[in-house]
Amino acid sequence: MTLFRVEDWDNAYANGSNIAGGERWPDAWTAPAEDFRRLVAKKATTDIAYGEHPRETMDLFMPDETPRGLFVFVHGGFWIRFDKSTWSHFAAGALACGWAVAMPSYPLCPEVHVREIAQSISRAVALASARIDGPIRLAGHSAGGQIVARLLCGGTGLSDTVLDRIDRVMPISGVHDLRPMMRTQLNDTIGLDAAEARAESPALLEPAVDVPVICWVGAGERSEFVRQNALLANVWRGLGLATECVEEPDRHHFDVIDGLRSGASPMARALFA
């Protein structure tokens, strides 16, 4: 029998220091995002305010034809860093598949609590959904994966009318049980306590709507991200949802989202087929 215990929780969730060349990110995303915004400028509306906080803004990218629906991508960064400007080029795959794409920024910890971030993203989804007809599909990376999964559980301010339009969700490398984060130094900034960690963990909640959920992670990621990915798919399948757990070969935490850049990728096919 082999027993395994996590002894170093900071290392368990440390990505850059455990990926060869990990110091390249996030800078490696900045120039492609800027180039993409210039390329699609005529079909983009940037810095749309969806709330009162200065960071409650989003960019909306439109396809060449009438949109098939709305795709919302929520960025990661452990709830403490980044904004929408780093990720624009990851709208390319959805646009190629005919979907309008909303990419919101959101207020960060420690200024706000994790629960308030989900409430912010609910406001962003509501505003974007008022502009774009049709079904809504959500994806989020890392902390963004937790956020999009959390939206399905209700209690974030998202109306039933909008929830009912969501027909597919893909958390990518999400953290779905927040309790381990309380054991990391990151929590000095995130500020989770036991009550909030339980209340905002999708894996400990019941979805309010019945939609397919595709939990996606890189097979080369830290074992905690692989475990968290499988956890949500397992628990929610037990609650009656249709779920899939994908571990994409030869992908780590930073390049796992590259599939969003091409409409022909396995990730894009799973999201937009």
Query: By CB neighbour count within 10 A (0-12 exposed, 13-18 middle, 19+ buried), where does 20 fall?
Result: exposed
Tens digit of pLDDT at every position of the chain (273 positions) = 889 899 999 999 999 888 887 778 778 899 999 999 999 999 999 999 999 999 999 999 999 999 999 999 999 999 999 999 999 999 999 999 999 999 999 999 999 999 999 999 999 999 999 999 999 999 999 999 999 999 999 999 999 999 999 999 999 999 999 999 999 999 999 999 999 999 999 999 999 999 999 999 999 999 999 999 999 999 999 999 999 999 999 999 999 999 999 999 999 999 998
Per-residue DSSP letter, 141: E
Q: Which two tokens stand for residue 48?
A: 């749309």
**What is the arrangement of strands in the sheet containing 44-49, beginning at the earlier edge strand?**
44-49, 57-61, 100-104, 70-74, 136-141, 166-172, 213-218, 243-248
The answer to whether the bond into 110 is cis (omega within 30° of 0) is yes
Cβ pair 20, 255 in contact under 8 A: no
What pLDDT, in 10s, does the model give residues 60-78?
Answer: 999 999 999 999 999 999 9
